[in-house]
Amino acid sequence: MLGAFANAFKTPDLRRKIFFVLFIIVIFRIGSVVPAPGVNVQSIDTCIKDSAGGANANLYSLINLFSGGALLQLAIFALGIMPYITASIILQLLTVVIPRLETLKKEGQAGQTKITQYTRFLTVGLAILQATAFVALARTPGQLFQGCNLPLLYENDWFTVSVIVLTMTAGTGVVMWLGELITDRGVGNGMSILIFTQIVATFPTQLWNIRKEKGLDVFFMVIVIGLIIMAAVIFIEQAQRRIPVQYAKRMVGRKMFGGTSTYIPLKVNQAGVIPVIFASSLMYLPVLISQFRKDEKWAQWIQTNFVRGDHPYYMLAFVALIIFFTYFYVSITFNPKEVADNMKKYGGFIPGIRAGTPTEEYLGYVLSRITFPGAIYLAIVSLIPLIALVLVDASQSFPFGGTSILIMVGVGLDTVKQIESQLQQRNYEGFLR
């Protein structure tokens, strides 16, 4: 991997793209620390230092993670890339339900451009809703920071609130634009790189907190465990089941086509990080609803069992949701019938399996077998911060685990693959040696 980056800097075109990506990242991080107008920075800093874990972490940790800590600081880019992620997931799910979107998906580049436009509109709408809800919570400091009574806004009137909501919504639009610039003119997927940047930005603080609170022994132990976890995640992320496919020879006009052998790569973690995001978001809903009915018995039961992540009920529910969403997401993103029909259309077949329905059933069988270990793998990685909370009480400052490590490894591997593919296009051996 280091060799690929070294060779990339030797290539002028790739070097310009990498520096462009770094320039966008700098702008992105500056916007993540600049406060929105009307925000009392001193009060926020005091509340973050005084409150346990910095905030009601179980409620806002996912959004705060994707914003690199900018959310709880009420920065310009406070919402980060989260509205875009949510909009993309919603559009991807609606593609299965709405025939019009499914038709657009099959139209190729033109249809994908249209879906991207819908995603942008939905992102702005979600940004308005999320910014309004979050600023409404900021008007009552205790909703964001436990035990904090300092005013987070200089003025609590509707004009100030509207300006902050408008600023955060505009910030989301700028973040979306920066991500698309990286995709068009840089290296890698822009949105993924921005998420990667925000997650990595929290690492120094988290590691330093462990160093101060737990000492050098726990600090080095966390680093060693983190490296082991990262190596294991890379191994699983690269694992795949290759189903061989043979294409029969056929005549088209005067030319012979086909007769080649290839394979269908089915990854063990076919769903990626999406099931963890779904499960995390759904786990917050009962806690949020219970805050409005605190006197009810069911609300008190939820507050007792689901606020802290180290509770057995929370862990069991979290694992069950991850397994369910893994199967659900894989079922809507990989269609065995469609793959079998395309293979039959172009004369492809799996050796030993008849084309058509038998191929569809075989693909579904293999997919269901590799999805289960993939779901268990996602559940184990997602439980790492919760287990760290039980063992060393370091959940809020434990960086190696859960959604963060999955996104970091996935984005890192994808970016390195794109750099290597571009290097192969520019550096190749000729026919003469």
**Tens-place pLDDT, residues 366-375:** 998 999 999 9
pLDDT at res. 309: 60
* Confidence class for position 87, pLDDT limits 50, 70, 90: confident
Percent of the chain with pLDDT over 70: 81
How many Å apart are CA 420 and CA 410, to the nearest integer? Answer: 16
Tell me the backbone φ, ψ of residue 361, rounded to 5 degrees.
-65, -40
DSSP bridge pairs for 395 = none
Report if residue 431 sits inside a domain: no
Tell me whether residue 432 is in a domain: no
pLDDT tier, 392 (very low <50, low <70, confident <90, very high otherwise)? low
Q: Is 36 exposed, middle or buried (0-12, 13-18, 19+ CB in 10 A)?
A: buried
Between 21 and 106, the higher pLDDT residue: 21
pLDDT: which is higher, 325 or 62: 325
Residue 431 pLDDT level (bands cut at 50, 70, 90): very low
pLDDT at 57: 44
- Per-residue pLDDT band for 430 (boundaries 50, 70, 90) equals very low
252 and 156 both lie in a single domain:
no
**For range 308-328, the mean pLDDT:** 82
The pTM for the full model equals 0.77
Residues 192 and 211 occupy one common structural domain: no
pLDDT of residue 26: 92
Which of 52-66, 97-111, 313-327 has the least mean pLDDT? 52-66
Q: Are 339 and 270 in contact (CB under 8 A)?
A: no
The pLDDT score that the predictor gives to residue 20 is 92
Residues 276, 420: one domain? yes
Q: Do 187 and 261 have their domain in common?
A: no
Higher pLDDT residue, 396 or 278?
278
- pLDDT in the model for residue 143: 65
Task: Judge whether residue 349 has pLDDT over 80.
Answer: yes
Q: Are 74 and 36 in contact (CB under 8 A)?
A: yes
Q: Is the dihedral of CA 96, 101, 106, 109 positive or negative?
A: negative
Q: Which CATH number fits the domain that encloses residue 401? A: 1.10.3370.10
Model pLDDT, residue 229: 82
**For range 242-266, the mean pLDDT:** 75
Q: Is residue 248 part of a domain?
A: yes
Same domain for 26 and 7 = yes
Confidence of residue 45 (pLDDT cuts 50, 70, 90): confident
Q: Which has the closest alpha carbon to 84: 232, 321, 277, 238?
A: 277
The residue type at 35: P
41 neighbors 30 (Cβ within 8 angstroms): no
Q: Take residue 45 and report the two structure tokens written for it.
A: 């800093």
Question: CA-CA distance, 415 to 94, in Å (whole number)?
Answer: 28
pLDDT for res 9: 75
- Is there a contact between 9 and 16 (Cβ–Cβ < 8 Å)? no
For the chain, the three-class secondary structure string (H helix, E strand, C coil) is CHHHHHHHHHCHHHHHHHHHHHHHHHHHHHHHHCECCCECHHHHHHHHHHCHHHCCHHHHHHHHHHCCCCCCCCECCCCCCHHHHHHHHHHHHHHHHCHHHHHHHHCCHHHHHHHHHHHHHHHHHHHHHHHHHHHHHHCCHHHCCCCCCCCCECCCCHHHHHHHHHHHHHHHHHHHHHHHHHHHHCCCCHHHHHHHHHHHHCHHHHHHHHHHHHCHHHHHHHHHHHHHHHHHHHHHHHCEEEEEEEECCEEECCEEECCCEEEEEEECCCCCCHHHHHHHHHHHHHHHHHCCCCCCHHHHHHHHHHCCCCCHHHHHHHHHHHHHHHHHHHHHHCCHHHHHHHHHHCCEECCCCCCCHHHHHHHHHHHHHHHHHHHHHHHHHHHHHHHHHHHHCCHHHCCCCHHHHHHHHHHHHHHHHHHHHHHHHHCCCCCCC
Task: Judge whether residue 322 has pLDDT over 80.
Answer: yes
When comparing pLDDT for 400 and 59, which is higher? 400
Q: Is residue 115 part of a domain?
A: yes
220 lies in a domain?
Answer: yes
pLDDT at 258 over 90: no
174, 318: one domain: no
CA-closest candidate to residue 65, choices 183, 241, 203: 203
In this prediction, residue 66 carries a pLDDT of 63
Q: Is residue 291 part of a domain?
A: yes
Compute the distance between CA of residue 205 and CA of residue 72 in angstroms, rounded to an integer: 15
pLDDT tens per residue, range 154-204: 887 888 889 999 999 999 999 999 999 998 888 888 888 888 888 888 777
| Contact between 175 and 390 (Cβ < 8 Å) | no
Report the percentage of the chain scoring pLDDT > 90: 9
If one compares 389 and 234, the residue with the highest pLDDT of the two is 234
| 268 and 359 housed in the same domain | yes
Q: Are residues 47 and 178 both part of a single domain?
A: yes
Query: Each residue of 71-83: pLDDT tens digit?
Result: 777 888 888 888 8
State which residues form the domain around 299: 202-426
Same domain, 177 and 314: no
pLDDT single digits (tens) 88-123: 888 887 887 888 888 888 777 788 888 889 999 999
**Do 152 and 134 contact (CB within 8 A), yes or no?**
no
**pLDDT tier at 69, thresholds 50, 70, 90:** low
